[in-house]
Structure 1
């Protein structure tokens, strides 16, 4: 996963109302219920169906570190889907998103202006239209570069062009991402 994808998932997790199950048995029970069977859960985790059944019975309590991480990740992906969907819908229709980033921004603009890329720290609210595009692309499986292009377009229009009030021919490039945090 990339920096932007991780940031979107952290922002989404901030809206959860209940904590994730803590024990391996509770996590396995939840995953089995979500995948509708022990066979599907076993395939998802890369273990045997019998191993999943042993976790459910309490015969195995402490998974290997790699299995514990995969189990926690799969549970985290599926935890409270309606709460996540409501938060995304609100951001995509009324709230928008807030981007906090430090990246290198380069410009293509009219002659006589500087186009040297430089590192900038920017915190900017983007309108719901960009949030909707970002969520749709993320749900469609877009890679981090495509998601960065959507954010670059949003920052270009809102931050650099001031919603079309200045810098008419400016094109912004969003590169060398140092950090990125998304909130909604």
Structure 2
């Protein structure tokens, strides 16, 4: 197990910047975090403006690398400087060579390939810069858009949990997907050789 040092995260992709949330993000953040369609499959409910402000305040100075702690990051469009969503990374509490991730894209920015770009940027950071061994994501069994995204990037389905979570008033089922560093490296070696 490798020790991960605390650091401020700043990942840049072709169109996006993944960085700490800041108070100036509040309006963009609240627009999609208050939309029931966006929060439908998420572990959080719709937020009031006050809850969104408090959440940003709690997250804005967090650093990557504290085992067992989710850190939520802004996804900013480089061109417009507007928030298109947010993402989260957590190092496993017992083994910091394993990370869990999550992505939320605003309803105003969906179907532009941002989720895939963010996912690739996060994986590149975790596997190539931090040398993470394994990345996992748990997804609602009905969230076909997220399932298709994970599969398209090369994640493997590792588990199907039947009615394992009481979620927003009813029992829900989930899938767990995972990818290993060697699978990411192999996929990119095959792409680079074409």
TM-score normalised over the length of structure 1 = 0.28
Q: Which has the higher contact order (CA 8 A, sep 6+)?
A: 1
Higher strand share: 2
TM-score normalised over the length of structure 2 = 0.27
